[in-house]
Amino acid sequence: MGLLTHWSRRIAARSQASPRRALTYALVFLGAALLIYLLFARSATAGQSTAFVLNAGAESRALPVPDLVFPTGAALYGFVLLCAFLGGWQLARGFRRVNLALSVVAAMFVLAFLTWAARGRSLNLTGLLSSALLRAVPIALAALSGVLCERCAVINIGIEGMMLTGAF
């Protein structure tokens, strides 16, 4: 236990977070790197490539963007190394803006999953993002109505009923 206390105090001295929180962030970053390696990178075989399609479709009048094609294994191991580097940096020096590093690690994990899911094939990234945005709007509007009700000191326990009524 003495070694963990030493490391957490050393990290907290360089960052603005508490000692336990700084050490927890470092372990989360290293855990994300380990998960990306165990779940995604080990299953990638040599010669596989991933293609992210960045065009909305043939009927779109937007500027055509070339597809993003890259080797799957190299990208996954790159995500592992980046997350491990961020975890090591957090252990050694600490970040001043830990939430930014946490969002980068979360984005790397999501990108690693999408790369692993589309290995050997292509994934329409534009269609994925547009459908996610389309499905998130009702939830965001319900959350906004809940926030407005709370700001007006009204406890609204029927937000899901209003969502169902609006869906009909």
pLDDT tens for 78-101 read 999 999 999 999 988 888 889 999
Specify the residue for token string 């980068």: 104
User: Among 45-54, 56-65, 103-112, which stretch is predicted with the lowest mean pLDDT?
Assistant: 56-65
Q: Please indicate whether residue 82 or residue 58 has the higher confidence score (pLDDT).
A: 82
Helices (H), the chain: 2-14, 19-35, 72-92, 98-117, 125-151, 159-167
Which residues 6+ apart lie within 8 Å of 149 measured at CB?
A: 155, 156, 159
Looking at residue 2, what is its pLDDT? 64
Specify the residue for token string 């909305």: 56
**6 band by pLDDT with thresholds 50, 70 and 90:** low
Q: What's the whole-number average pLDDT of the chain? A: 85
* Contact predicate 83/29, CB 8 Å: yes
Q: pLDDT over 70 for what percent of the chain?
A: 86
- pTM recorded for the entire structure: 0.75
